[in-house]
Each structure stands twice: as C-alpha cells, then as structure tokens.
Amino acid sequence: MSRKIERLINLTIALLATKRYLTKKQIFSSVEGYEGTAETKERMFERDKDDLRNLGVVIELGSFDPLFEDEAGYRIAPEGYALDLGAITGIEIALLSLAAEAWKGAALDRSAHSALTKLRSIGVDSDLDALPALAPRLMATHEGFQIITTAISKRERISFSYLSQSYESELRTIEPYAIATKGSHWYVAGRDVAKSALRTFRLDRIDSEVIPSKDGSGYEIPPGFDLLASLDLEQSAHLAIVDIRKGKAQLMRNAALSIADKGEWDRITINYLDSRSFIDLLLWHGDDVLLIAPESVRVELTTRVGEIIDLHV
C-alpha cells in the first residue's frame, strides 16, 4: 500500500516539476514504482491518473510540438495544482479560519479542517486579535448534507424520501440549486423533476438516505439564485395588524414592521406567510394578543378556537 502511495507522490512530483510534457515511456523509465509487463504498467498508470484526478489534481494531456505528430505526453500545470487566492493578509486568514471553525462537529467538519490546513500552509500568520470576539457555529448533522453539497457542485440530481404535511414519506427527485440555513434549520432548494417547479425542502424532514444519480446531470442553476431571498419573498406575502400586551409577545415584537404605543397595549403591523400558521402563532400567545385585521383571518381564528373547545370539553 505504501508503494502505491509513494508512486502517486513521485508521479505528482515528476509531472509538476517538468516544463515539457512527459510521454508514458519517459514516465515508466524515470518515475519509481512502475514495474512489470508493459500491460501492467499501462494499467497502473491509468489507475494512478484516475486516483489523482479524484484528489483534484488536474493532469494535462498535450504534445510538446504541435507541428510534429509526436506522442502525446502528460504534465501537471502548477497553476492548476496550487492554491492561489492572490496576496492574502493575516486578517483574511483569520476570517477564513473563523469560517472553517464554525463547522466544528458538524457536517462539513472534515472539509473545513482540510481547507484550514491548506490555508495555514500559505505561511501567513492568522491575525485573530484584529477580529472582535466571535464564535459563530453552523449546526448541520444530517447525513445527507455532504452528498447534497457534492451534488450541487457536480450538477447531479438527488432523490430522497420526504415527510409530507400528512406525515407520509414521499419519494422526491430534485435538481439541487442551493443549500442554506436560517434559524435552526437547513434547507435545500431545487427543481422538483416530477412537478417541474422550484421547491424548498427542510433537511430534517428528509427521512431516508440522499441518493445522487447521474441521470439528467449537467442541468443549469439560475445564476445568482438565492435560497433565503426566495424564502423571504414568500414570507412577506400578507400584512396584519395585531394588538399586543405591554412586555409580552416578544417573538412577535421581534418580527414587527412597526410598533405604536396604545397605553396598556401596543399596536403592531406584521407580515405573515399563510393564515393557518399565523393563527398558530397568535394562539401560542393566548390572550396577550388580539388580531385586529384582516377580518377574514379573525373569522378563521375564532372558528379554530371553537374547534379547540369542541375537542376538549
């Protein structure tokens, strides 16, 4: 096993150090580790190329002199191998370190950690003292997380089973566009293939493995697609007026667009998405809140409260 690793490292060094393309013959005669029959060497080399590609190392195929039909050769262009973020400062390294450390214990912890190792290898010291005391943290523990991010970058469809409102598992296939977090939930948005429309899914409602598939891969993601902006857009659909008792209904105060003092009560204006979940929110606050408008939601609310009474008397 060590020998294979040595060979891969030696091949990388040889292809990276060369200015001209190395032919297979040159590689087999100079890079240590290629042994056996011509066919064996050939097979080894093909596998090694695939392995390096899987590690993100780009091997170029080309010929030194296009005028002559000489044998094609291989090399690794340094600009395709090395990290290049331009000139980088200690403050930038500190910000990137904070970004990587936000993943501690969460889904992309490993990738974040290896990214951090690379950044620390640049040789610029992190200037953490220049930042205010911050410890942001990303909570993402869903097993499918990494599969989804990989699928987005490879433009591959994913399938999973999703818990519907009626708590039934439904099989969904989407072309994922973006993954984002808001509050304590992660969302993935994409084109639902069966419905041929944009849909957003909460990760904790996915109750199966996430399976990537090569079918229909290579779809386009709308440039600049912003998952949270599209969620926010939906959420500002309707306007309501609510009276809330002084010192109460903190959650609604935080979401209020305006607050006016009415003595014992405050009158707020607030956006809501759909009437049912808005009624849920109002009822959580019991008699500390009173919906003033819209009238249609007031009527629906009193009907719902009647149902609660009927269920419990």
Query: Within positions 240 to 269, which residues make up the interface with other proteins, using CB under 8 A?
Result: 247-251
Residue 96 makes contact with other proteins by CB under 8 A: yes
Write down the least CB distance from residue 66 to other proteins, Å: 25
Smallest distance, other proteins to C-beta of residue 68, A:
24
User: CB-wise, 7 or 173, nearer to other proteins?
Assistant: 7
Stretch that binds other proteins, among 66-74, 179-187, 208-216, 255-263 (CB under 8 A): 179-187
Q: Which one of residues 8, 128, 198, 241 is an interface residue with other proteins (CB under 8 A)?
A: 8
**The token pair that represents 74 in the structure block:** 């291989």
* Minimum CB–partner distance for residue 121 and other proteins (Å): 4
Work out which of 221, 241, 255, 259 binds other proteins, going by CB under 8 A. Answer: 221
Asked if 30 is part of the footprint of other proteins (rule: CB under 8 A), the reply reads yes
Among residues 39, 56, 65, 196, which is the contact residue for other proteins, using CB under 8 A?
56
Amino acid at 81: Y
Q: Burial code of 282-297, b = ≥16 C-beta within 10 A, e = fewer? A: beebeebbebeeeeeb
Q: Residue-wise over 86-112: b if at least 16 C-beta within 10 A, else e?
A: eeeeeebbbbbbeebbbbeebbbbeeb
3-state secondary structure of 48: helix
Which of 173/179 has CB closer to other proteins?
179
The sign one gets for the Cα dihedral 51, 54, 59, 61 is positive
Residue in 38, 85, 233, 257 binding other proteins, rule: CB under 8 A? 85
Residue selected from 98, 193, 241, 255 as contacting other proteins according to rule CB under 8 A: 98
Asked if residues 248 and 201 have their Cβ atoms less than 8 Å apart, the reply is no
Binding of other proteins by 192 (CB under 8 A): no
Q: Is 127 in contact with 90 (CB distance < 8 Å)?
A: yes
Rule CB under 8 A: is residue 84 a binding residue for other proteins?
Answer: yes
Structure tokens given for 141:
């523990």
Task: Please name the amino acid found at residue 199.
Answer: R
Within 131-150, which residues bind other proteins (CB under 8 A)? 131-139, 146, 149-150
- How far apart are CB 129 and other proteins at their closest, in Å? 13
Separation CA 138–CA 135 (nearest Å) = 10
Choose one: 2-10, 34-42, 59-67, 208-216; the region binding other proteins (CB under 8 A): 2-10
Q: Are 235 and 222 in contact (CB under 8 A)?
A: no
